[in-house]
Amino acid sequence: MRKITLNKAAYLLTTTILATGILLATHLADLNRQLDRELLDHVEEMMRLLEESETENRELREENLELERLHYIRAEQRTLLASRGGRPSIPVLSPSGMSAAHFERAFQALDKPGMFGLGKILCEAEQETGVNALVVAAIVSLESGWGQSILSQTKCNLGGLGAFDDNPNQAMTFGSREECILFLAELISDGGTLEDVGRWYASDPAWASKVAGCMKMIADAER
């Protein structure tokens, strides 16, 4: 009877050890699978962050290249305006190198609240027509008294369009300032120089020179 009890105890001990080993092995296997999943998730997260970093770096490089291009164009624009001393032989179809933010900073610096908020549409007009946004900005600045004229206030007509000397009341009416600027840019998109535009746009023989002066004011104010 004692021998049977010892054998039973040994069996139970052996069974317990085996069961414990199996449970331990199962737990270790589960732990390894969990660690593998966590490691895989970590690797995937690192790959995702790396891809995002590469995308951001690429976008920054492209942005820097664009800023350098715009800076170069703006420098050329200022050199052109300075070297010609306000003379109107400035090409209408040319890049301005100005962004919406550049225009807004210039209008702020010049303290011309009537022009605030026009930067975006000026740049859009340049993109759509190829007409230098600085040229358009200068024309509307001159014609509207920097956005303060009666026509600009009552008819959204920043360009004095249709306001003939003998009958200014026949000036065109626009639904918005943005509509007027797009119309103006399209109107002068045939190209040529400021002087060419001035021959048919205004009766004032000094009109093109005055526009060139406004261009210089805006370009210089944005520095």
| pLDDT tens digit sequence for 78-133 | 555 554 444 557 889 989 889 999 999 999 999 999 999 999 999 999 999 999 99
| Residue 27 clears pLDDT 80, i.e. is over it | no
Helices 177-187 and 133-143 cross at an angle (nearest 10°) of 120
- Across the range 56-60, mean pLDDT stands at 64
Percent residues over pLDDT 90 in the chain: 48
Cα(199)–Cα(201) distance, rounded to whole angstroms? Answer: 6
Confidence band, pLDDT 50/70/90 cuts, at residue 208: very high
Q: What is the DSSP letter of 183?
A: H
- Across the range 202-216, mean pLDDT stands at 92
pLDDT of residue 37: 81
**131: CB partners within 8 A, 6+ apart:** 92, 93, 125, 185, 188, 189
pLDDT of residue 97: 87
Helices 207-221 and 100-110 cross at an angle (nearest 10°) of 100
- Across the range 58-78, mean pLDDT stands at 53
pLDDT of residue 186: 96
pLDDT of residue 29: 77
Residues 209 and 86: beta-carbon distance below 8 Å: yes
Angle at 85 between CA 199 and CA 101, to 5 degrees: 85
Cα(151)–Cα(80) distance, rounded to whole angstroms? Answer: 32
Residues 161 and 172: beta-carbon distance below 8 Å: yes
Q: Give the architecture (CATH level 2) of 88-221.
A: Orthogonal Bundle (1.10)
**155: CB partners within 8 A, 6+ apart:** 171, 172, 173, 174
- Across the range 47-66, mean pLDDT stands at 64
